[in-house]
Amino acid sequence: MSATPGGAPDEPRVDLRLATIASMGAILAGLGLARFAFAPIQPALVLDGWFSGQGASLLASANLAGYLLGALFADAAARRIPAATLLRFLVLAIGVSFVACADQGMPFVWFFFWRVISGVAGGAIMVISGPTLLAHVPRPRRPFFSQLTLYGIGIGIMLAGVVTPFLLGIGVAETWLALGVLSIAVAIVTWRMWPPPALPAPPSTEERPSARLFILQYGLIAIAIVPHMVYLADYIARDLGRGVMTGSHFYVIYGVGALIGPFLYAAVTGRIGLRTTLRAAFLVQLAAVLLLFAGGDDLTLILSAFLAGLGMPGLVALFLARSQQIADGDPARHRMLWGLVIVSFSVSQTITAFITSFLLGQFGETGIGYPILFVAAAIAAIVTFAIDFRVRR
């Protein structure tokens, strides 16, 4: 399977299978492991005496802050360093960050620094990897490949829910080391799979939405994604008193949704179009958040986790495909726009995560910290859906 970007005749053919594996691997390391695999580690850090609840939450927030920094500087870095070279070393940096956190005797600032580094690498990967791949994909197939490249998130979530709890049974330090070795292995395996730079595609006549409203939407939906993406395992383990293993089990359900989401949304997009699928995905995310208010019984939590999993990475991939439409096939323009979109997303996530950390520190014993987050997430999903009807060319 090979292609040129939108059918550009003068560009060397690219093996899309290898390029897709490379992109999936980078996102697996940058988000699936650096972000999601930390979710079951977070309560274990508290229960095993590494850090306090607020300290562990700050480490989760550090990754989000680094993600913002990576998204801010990714486009500038990619203009100076070939995208393939940059992506290779970003994945390698994530592996190093895991290994560096394996020593419990290091001070908190050491862990905070390396969690920021993992976030920087993850944010830059998200900005660069998708546009690097999609620039080589024919226009009609871009929504499908947008979903496929982000499948690495779903794989990472499943690893977080299935493998990480097993590793935690051996030890927290061993878990850090194992995730570091896995990330480094991904970097080595995909080292030569990245495609060369692509040429701009011919202009398109399809309708394109307002870039400003599009960026705002992504920032708002980020708030709706945070409760499940960052705090689901900790909420179930500590606030509901179900324990680390139980929290991890529900994270597996979240991972199942993440594995199904890309293919489900890709199929739906082919039938009802990208914009309508996006609107439906907003409502699915809203339902996932509202179910968190319905009580802590197993059935409700399973349904909430599964629906939220559909949106991560399904929702992100829909936004990636939509940004490609707005950029009109130009690789540099797409990377710049997607960078702005990721910045909007990460600003919202970072602010939300740090506020949640503060609430957990202030009201942790009362159990009202997470409900405040859930209310904010529901409002954000509603507003995101509403403003989509104002999106115009």
Structural domain spans, the chain:
2-201+208-390
Do the beta carbons of residue 86 and residue 124 sit within 8 Å? yes
Question: What letter represents residue 234's amino acid?
Answer: D
Buried b (16+ CB within 10 A) or exposed e, 44-55: bbbeeebbebeb
- 248-257 in b/e form (b: 16+ CB < 10 A) is bbbbbbbbbb
Contacts with 391 (C-beta within 8 Å, 6 or more apart), sequence order: 209, 210, 213, 214, 217, 275
Tokens of 275: 């914009």
What SS3 class is residue 12? coil
Question: On the CB side of 322, how many CA atoms lie within 13 Å of its CA?
Answer: 28
- Mark residue 51 as left, alpha or beta (left: phi above 0; alpha: psi -120 to 50; beta: remaining): beta
CATH fold, domain 2-201+208-390, is: Growth Hormone; Chain: A; (1.20.1250)
Pairing of strands 2-3, 14-15: antiparallel
Spatial distance between the Cα atoms of 65 and 354, rounded to a whole number of angstroms? 9
Q: Which helix H or strand E contains 105, and what residues bound it?
A: none
Tokens linked to 209: 């939405």
Are 124 and 67 a contacting pair, CB within 8 Å?
Answer: no
Q: How many CA atoms lie within 13 A of 183 on its CB side?
A: 34
Q: Which residue has the tokens 């993992």?
A: 118
pLDDT of residue 5: 46
- What's the pLDDT at 393? 46
**What is the CB neighbour count within 10 angstroms for residue 22?**
26
Cβ pair 302, 310 in contact under 8 A: no
DSSP letter at 208? -
Q: Which amino acid is at 276?
A: T
Q: How would you class 199 by CB atoms within 10 Å of its CB: exposed for 0-12, middle for 13-18, buried for 19 or more?
A: middle
Q: Helix 16-27 vs helix 108-134: angle between axes, to the nearest 10 degrees?
A: 160
Question: Count of residues for the chain?
Answer: 393
Q: Is the dihedral of CA 207, 208, 209, 214 positive or negative?
A: positive
pTM here is: 0.78
Contact 373, 364 (CB under 8 A): no
User: What's the CA dihedral at 369, 373, 374, 375 to 10 degrees?
Assistant: 100
CB 150 within 8 A of CB 115: no
Cβ density class 359-375: b for 16+ within 10 Å, e for less? bbeeebeeeebbbebbe
Residues 41/173, Cβ–Cβ less than 8 Å: no
Q: Minimal CA–CA distance to 133: which of 14, 33, 215, 269?
A: 14
Q: Report pLDDT for 79.
A: 86
Give the Å distances, CA to CA, from 160 to 100, 137, 272.
Answer: 19, 30, 33
End-to-end distance of the chain based on CA atoms, in angstroms? 34
Parts of the chain with a pLDDT under 50: 5-10, 204-205, 393
